[in-house]
A = this chain, B = another copy of it.
Amino acid sequence: MLDIPNRDRRAERRSSTRTEILEAAWELCAANGLASLSLRDLAQRIGLKAPSLYSYFDSKNAIYDAMFAQGCQQLLDERPREIPDDLLGGIRAIMGYFVDFCVADPVRYQLLFQRTIPGFEPSADSYAISQTAMRLTFDWFAGHGLDRPDVVDLFTAIGSGIAAQQNSNEPGGDRWTKLVDDAALMFVRHIQAGDVPTDKGRSQT
């Protein structure tokens, strides 16, 4: 007798249906907006009735949560494997990757980085994934002698600002994304100027 390890076909099928549901959810959100997702439409798109979805997810927010986790995982999985070791090259690569990721899917950007779905908060597990992604960036900075939190904060502000402007004002275009190299140069020169550590806050008017 063959002693093949049990492929649990039931579990496999279940998992693939879950994947199918999430794929359909991304498509619907891309078409109608993140907030307009409805379980009826979602079920219909894959040939099910709405109540059947509850065999796979506990609630609508559980679907959003799974999408959130997927998005964070993609941010981790698709990150560049080779980051140039020089500061400018590295900053360019990281900022460029992040901006491209954000504009590649505006709905995903909205779900992960803008919190605009009323009543949705990512679960602890999903949030942990996003924290891992954040920490990798922070570690890269620290590995290059940049361990000041406000330096990283300025970096993320520039990256997410370019992405936000692109997605809000010209989704699909490149009016802002093409500024990435220029912005990276600006940022690197600034932190190399050496006067960044300003502990005082902004001057009052």
Chain A residues packing against B (C-beta within 8 Å): 32-36, 80, 92-93, 96, 110, 113-118, 150, 153-154, 156-162, 164-165, 168, 174-183, 185-187, 189-190, 193, 196, 198, 201-203, 205
Contacts and interface: CB of A to CB of B under 8 A. Distances in A.
Contact of A179 (B36, B157, B174): B157
Contacts of A93: 205
30 contacts: A33-B116, A33-B118, A34-B116, A35-B35, A92-B203, A96-B202, A113-B168, A114-B164, A114-B168, A115-B168, A116-B116, A153-B165, A153-B179, A154-B179, A154-B182, A154-B183, A154-B186, A157-B162, A157-B165, A157-B179, A157-B183, A161-B162, A164-B164, A177-B202, A178-B201, A178-B202, A180-B202, A181-B198, A182-B198, A190-B190
The interface centre, meaning the residue of A113, A161, A168, A180 with most chain B CB atoms within 10 A of its CB, is A161
B32 A118 contact: yes
